[in-house]
Amino acid sequence: MKARNIVLAATAAVAMVAVSGVAAAQRGPQKAAPGTTVSLGGEARVKALYSWPNTCSDVSVCGAASVEDTVRHYLEQSLKRDGYADSAVTVRRAGAGYQATFTGSAQKTYPKAVTAFLSAGDKALATARSIAASKTPEGASQWPYTWRFFLPVGLAMVNNPTVELLHFPPDYSLTDKQDYLNSATTDRWAMLLAQNGIPADKSPAYQAIIDINPIAAPASDGSKLEGVEGKFTGYITDMLGQWTSNPATPYYGKPMVAFGGPVRAWLKAQYGLELQVDQVGLLSLPSGAVPVIAANHPSQIFYTAWNDTTPKTENFEKGMQVMTQDLIAACWQARMGQAPASDPQKTAADCTQQWVANNKQACMLLETTIYKKTEEQAQAICSALPPVAQGRDGATQAASLAE
């Protein structure tokens, strides 16, 4: 009798499960968490801050290029580069403006990050409009028709290990496939990061770029930007505070690389921080002290190593100097990004020793990536290099690279 009761009870339990299962099926699938929504602002603001309409040579990438498509495209790029593989974003029109809704783990950080980014962008936009409204002595606008306002959209802005300070983005980064990292400059630096242990799929997170001029312009327009240097300081200060903030090491912000002469001049003018190539200093911000290394502009080597008026041997020597300097800076960036609590000065010294001693690898990179030699041709040239001096002579040789 007891056994029969147990069977009946089990049968009833199965029946109850079956009934509840049918009821659940009738109700349909359970809705996922709704995510977190953030307002992007009114239509005029969103169009301006996301440089809409984005012209694009590849329709298969740009698609219909609506405002919603454009914003979603850049936010998806950011999520991917920040490593939020479990997250997604939708963008929709809401009344007179637009909203973005984040799901997954990014909804804990992205609403705040996007809001702060756009607030900084408002300052940059106000400055850009002021420049456009001003006139040259000849009566022309100080904002040439070839320039486009372009914030560093689509980049990692939460989990970025490092920050890069550059001069201005090339115009084709905006018009070609809508990708801030789609440039010869960023491609070359990613290669140098790879030489220092950062895999290709991780380097975009390291390349969180803040340009001191958020202006997409032809690569040859660097000299034209002299008239606007220093006018975007309020925007840059906000961006540096956001993207260098590092709660894990509150005494140090995320490390930063300052690329090129105009950027080094800007740091000196705005913060009193004067650095030569491969020198390290601390940038004092309200959010904390940020370790900074000065570097050549990533494209500098193309001008230094190629000069028709200079003997080939001199071009090679200058090319080797710049290639070694670049590898040292990329080494520092990689190591500090992986261990931000490290001593920035010691890290720079270690990287200098490493790459001065590894002159044959620097030579191989110079010959294959700059002079476009085959591996076999480069090997024949670089194997003939004399060994680098060690000890005191090696230290002297390393120090001479920064001169």
Q: Write down the pLDDT at residue 388.
A: 63
Mean per-residue pLDDT, 190-197: 98
Which is more confidently placed, 295 or 392?
Answer: 295
Q: Write down the pLDDT at residue 339.
A: 94
Q: Write down the pLDDT at residue 53.
A: 86
Q: What is the DSSP letter of 33?
A: P
Q: Write down the pLDDT at residue 61.
A: 56
Locus of tokens 């329709």: 59
Q: Write down the pLDDT at residue 10.
A: 39
Average pLDDT, the chain: 87
pLDDT at 20 over 50: no
The secondary structure of 188-225, three-state, reads HHHHHHHHCCCCCCCHHHHCEEEECCCEEECHHHCHHH
pLDDT at 17 over 80: no
What proportion of the chain, given as a percentage, has pLDDT over 70?
85
* pLDDT tens sequence across 291-324: 999 999 999 999 999 887 788 889 999 999 999 9
CA distances from 107 to 91, 104, 329 (A): 14, 6, 34
pLDDT band at 399 (very low <50, low <70, confident <90, very high): very low
Which is more confidently placed, 27 or 273?
Answer: 273
CB crowding 334-361: b at 16 or more within 10 Å, else e: bbbbeebebebeebbbbbbbbbbbebbb
Locus of tokens 């919603």: 68
> Given phi > 0 = left and psi -120 to 50 = alpha, else beta, which region is 315?
alpha
CB 233 within 8 A of CB 259: no
Locus of tokens 């029946």: 15
pLDDT band at 231 (very low <50, low <70, confident <90, very high): very high
pLDDT at 76 over 50: yes
Q: Write down the pLDDT at residue 56.
A: 61
CB 329 within 8 A of CB 278: yes
d(CA 253, CA 292): 10
Q: Measure the CA angle with vertex 364, ends 362 and 369; round to 5°.
A: 95
CB 207 within 8 A of CB 186: yes
Looking at the domain 118-400, which fold is it? Answer: Uracil-DNA Glycosylase, subunit E (3.40.470)
d(CA 83, CA 86): 9
- Say what the pTM is: 0.87
Neighbours of 76 (CB within 10 A): 16
* pLDDT tens sequence across 101-142: 999 999 999 999 999 999 999 999 999 999 999 988 888 888
* pLDDT tens sequence across 281-292: 999 988 789 999
Mean per-residue pLDDT, 182-201: 96
Which contacts of 371-380 are long-range, i.e. CB under 8 A and separated by 24 or more positions?
Answer: 371/305, 371/319
- The ranges assigned to domains in the chain are 118-400
